[in-house]
């Protein structure tokens, strides 16, 4: 016990060698009149949070799809950006034109003329309205595009009947809406 005490007395250097320096610096700071830092500095965290928030709001600004619940479009590797068009939606049970229900899928019968009669009138009305607008605005382009949003199990004959009916009403460009899938590397 006495040996230990003697050792600590003989080796005072083992105490914190920077202790004196720290105290000196503190005294210097206080002498300059600067306040001693207190609490956590939240500025950096707030910066980060704000950047994250702006990024997420920007990403969220993509128009959320308003697809019917019984509609799942197929996935595709196509990377073409979705452009606004007249939308024909074919779900498992119903057909919509620009969000308005026009027919039940079960009621659609494809005759020899291959037209879907329930689609003819709404498409014709949209086409006429578009033509009037174009002439008023002095546009001469013939961009009359149809965006087809169909369920992945829709039979081919139904797809073709929709496109054929749209074509018969003067729509000459077709686009298929799909969900983006990563292409295999």
Q: 104 forms bridges with which residues in the sheet?
A: 94
Q: Is 143 in the site for another protein (CB under 8 A)?
A: no
One residue of 10, 41, 59, 100 binding another protein per CB under 8 A: 59
| Options 13-21, 120-128, 129-137, 175-183: segment touching another protein (CB under 8 A) | 175-183
Rounded CA gap, 1 and 51, in Å? 62
Residue 105: CA count within 13 A, CB half-sphere: 18
Contact indicator for 80, 178 with CB cutoff of 8 Å: no
Tell the smallest beta-carbon distance from residue 20 to another protein (Å): 32
CA dihedral 164, 166, 170, 175 (to 10 degrees): -100
Residues 144-173 that bind another protein (CB under 8 A): 147, 150-157, 159-160, 163-164, 167, 172-173
Question: What is the distance, to the nearest Å, from the Cα of residue 137 to the centroid of all Cα atoms in its chain?
Answer: 32
- Binding residues for another protein, rule: CB under 8 A, are 42, 45-46, 49-50, 52-53, 56-57, 59-60, 62, 64-65, 73-83, 114, 147, 150-157, 159-160, 163-164, 167, 172-180, 183
């Amino acid at each position: 016990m006495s040996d230990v005490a003697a050792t600590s007395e003989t080796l005072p250097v083992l105490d914190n060698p920077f202790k004196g320096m720290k105290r000196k610096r503190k005294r210097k700071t206080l002498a300059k009149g600067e306040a001693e830092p207190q609490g956590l500095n939240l500025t950096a965290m707030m910066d980060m949070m704000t950047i994250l928030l702006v990024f997420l709001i920007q990403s969220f600004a993509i128009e959320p799809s308003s697809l019917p619940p019984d509609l799942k479009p197929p996935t595709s590797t196509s990377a073409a950006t979705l452009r606004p068009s007249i939308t024909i939606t074919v779900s498992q049970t119903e057909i919509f034109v620009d969000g308005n229900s026009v027919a039940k899928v079960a009621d659609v019968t494809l005759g020899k003329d291959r037209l879907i009669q329930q689609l003819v009138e709404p498409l014709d009305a949209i086409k006429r309205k578009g033509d009037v607008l174009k002439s008023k605005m002095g546009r001469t382009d013939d961009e009359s595009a149809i965006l087809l949003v169909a369920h992945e199990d829709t039979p081919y004959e139904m797809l073709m009947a929709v496109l054929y009916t749209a074509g018969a009403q003067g729509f000459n460009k077709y686009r298929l809406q799909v969900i983006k899938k990563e292409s295999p590397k």
